[in-house]
């Protein structure tokens, strides 16, 4: 759901279409239903930085306050959250939101602590045997100025990497939230290195 949300956010940035924006909120609603607040926090944070990099604040606010989209999100996720609260009351708020979301960020749980550098070696290990392409992608990170898609993908990965690097509870799989953009960046670097020109001549399609 996170991947669908963010790819449609980029599509909407390219060609503002309220139908695409409706899908963004649908995916966020399903993500919120599946995993909780992270399905909203990450897309919002990534979108803010991406739109800010082009100084397109009005466009961002226009999309963020899309009232029909919020109705879709509430219609998808709201019933389950309402029924859980009806069944458990404050215990649901304390357990689900405060303990397993806020609490995992602010304090170490189940001895899964680390340091701010925890994900640096984890990054190299997780992408074996394709770490060479990963290094290649980082080597060409300066190209984001010329390619909006690359910029979006790097911001996506960067937000995930920074947020979870500062989290008090750290697990390797948290980095998977930022894996899709890295895979796409690694693939485009491989194509460019092999001499393929399709990505430079045509809009990248998913």
Q: Is the pLDDT of residue 31 over 90?
A: yes
Q: Cα–Cα distance between 11 and 2 in angstroms, integer?
A: 14
Angle, helices 2-14 vs 179-193, to 10°: value is 60
* Inter-residue contact 167 to 174 (CB < 8 Å): yes
Higher local confidence (pLDDT), 13 or 127: 13
Q: Is the pLDDT of residue 206 over 50?
A: no
- pLDDT at residue 66, as a whole number: 94
Token look-up 């750290």 returns 170
Q: What percentage of the chain exceeds 70 in pLDDT?
A: 78
- Specify the DSSP class assigned to residue 147: -
* Inter-residue contact 29 to 66 (CB < 8 Å): no
Least confident of 58-67, 105-114, 134-143: 105-114
What token pair was written down for 148? 């909006």
Q: Cα–Cα distance between 81 and 181 in angstroms, integer?
A: 30
Pick from 80, 87, 182, 204: nearest CA to 126: 182
What token pair was written down for 183? 């895979």
Q: pTM of the prediction? A: 0.81
Least confident of 12-26, 70-84, 185-199: 185-199
Q: Cα–Cα distance between 124 and 177 in angstroms, integer?
A: 16
Question: Can you spell out the DSSP letters for 107-125?
Answer: S--TT----TTTHHHHHHH
Average pLDDT along the chain: 82
Q: Is the pLDDT of residue 140 over 80?
A: no
What token pair was written down for 52? 């800010």
Cis check: omega of the bond before 51, within 30 degrees of 0: no
Q: What is the mean pLDDT of residues 112-118?
A: 64
Cα Dmax for the chain: 59
Higher local confidence (pLDDT), 79 or 141: 79
Q: What percentage of the chain exceeds 90 in pLDDT?
A: 42
Q: What is the mean pLDDT of residues 43-66?
A: 94
Least confident of 49-53, 61-65, 132-136, 147-151: 132-136
* Inter-residue contact 20 to 5 (CB < 8 Å): no
Angle at 125 between CA 44 and CA 39, to 5 degrees: 20
* Inter-residue contact 192 to 143 (CB < 8 Å): no
């Amino acid at each position: 759901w996170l991947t669908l949300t963010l790819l449609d956010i980029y599509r909407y940035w390219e060609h503002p279409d309220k139908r695409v924006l409706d899908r963004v909120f649908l995916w966020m609603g399903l993500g919120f239903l599946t995993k909780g607040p992270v399905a909203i926090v990450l897309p919002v944070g990534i979108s803010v930085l991406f739109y800010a990099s082009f100084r397109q604040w009005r466009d961002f606010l226009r999309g963020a306050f899309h009232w029909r989209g919020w109705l879709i999100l509430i219609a998808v996720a709201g019933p389950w959250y309402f029924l859980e609260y009806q069944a458990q009351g404050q215990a649901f708020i304390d357990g689900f939101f405060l303990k397993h979301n806020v609490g995992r960020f602010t304090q170490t749980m189940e001895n899964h602590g680390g340091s701010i550098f925890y994900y640096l070696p984890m990054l190299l290990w997780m992408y074996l045997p394709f770490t060479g392409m990963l290094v290649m992608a980082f080597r060409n990170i300066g190209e984001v100025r010329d390619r909006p898609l690359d910029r979006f993908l790097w911001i996506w990965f960067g937000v995930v990497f920074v947020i979870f690097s500062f989290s008090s509870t750290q697990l390797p799989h948290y980095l998977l939230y930022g894996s899709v953009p890295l895979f796409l960046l690694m693939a485009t670097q491989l194509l460019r290195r092999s001499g393929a020109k399709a990505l430079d001549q045509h809009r990248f399609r998913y």
